[in-house]
Chains A and B, each alone.
Chain A
Amino acid sequence: NAGVMQNPRHLVRRRGQEARLRCSPMKGHSHVYWYRQLPEEGLKFMVYLQKENIIDESGMPKERFSAEFPKEGPSILRIQQVVRGDSAAYFCASSPWGVEGAFFGQGTRLTVV
């Protein structure tokens, strides 16, 4: 049973480009969470999705950021027109029911140059 898969593991983008981060949840998990982590800082909640629905996006910046979890395929976190301040590790987690512990992927490290 594969764990949560995130790709790419490392992503370099120039300022103004778009970044697409993918997350495939564990088999049977229909709840996906995205978090951002800056060096030496904790995990900051961004968005919580179930299949085809955004449940809570209170932690996501209103502009440039969007997330989706389609009926088929991985969850996507999209950052448009990236800026240097977007450089961080982005983690995805999934859970089966939304009340059990969430299991994390290895993250995507985004560097904006």
Chain B
Amino acid sequence: EDQVTQSPEALRLQEGESSSLNCSYTVSGLRGLFWYRQDPGKGPEFLFTLYSAGEEKEKERLKATLTKKESFLHITAPKPEDSATYLCAVQANGQNFVFGPGTRLSVLP
């Protein structure tokens, strides 16, 4: 069975304090790994797709990396507006997206 875990469950950072979020996965036949951001009361917002180990994607202060067993979302010099829940999902041969429980990020000014 495909599984996704994320750590930490919650993270509090000071503005400008860089850190990383982890997504570990067990899947047979990975087709893609996806990162989303979700604000309270809203739908997940698509951030990145990663397809193969060694791949990296960047967007503003966010950088996603992928290995054969996990992915990291690096946040450089975060701002309060980066506060959200960050979700990781994998898509395997079954084609549906399996989501992790998310990491709640709070960035304090």
Contacts and interface: CB of A to CB of B under 8 A. Distances in A.
B76 to A, nearest CB: 22
A106 B98 CA distance: 19
- The B interface, classified by DSSP as helix, strand, loop or mixed, is strand
Contacts of B87: 42-43
Interface of B: 31-32, 34, 36, 42-46, 48-49, 87, 89, 91, 94-102
Interface residues of A, number: 26
Interface in A13-59: 33, 35, 41-45, 48, 55-56, 58-59
Interface of A: 4, 6, 33, 35, 41-45, 48, 55-56, 58-59, 91, 93, 98-107
Given A43-B89, A55-B96, A104-B44, 6 more contacts: A33-B97, A41-B101, A56-B95, A102-B34, A104-B46, A107-B42
Contact of A42 (B45, B46, B101): B101
B45 A45 contact: no
Given A104-B44, A105-B43, A106-B43, A42 B49 contact: no
Contacts, number: 59
Given A99-B32, A101-B49, A33 B96 contact: yes
Contacts of B94: 56
Contact of B46 (A41, A58, A99, A101): A101
25 contacts: A33-B96, A42-B99, A42-B100, A43-B99, A44-B99, A45-B98, A48-B96, A55-B95, A59-B96, A91-B43, A91-B44, A93-B97, A98-B95, A99-B95, A100-B32, A100-B49, A101-B32, A101-B48, A101-B49, A103-B46, A104-B43, A104-B44, A105-B43, A106-B43, A107-B42
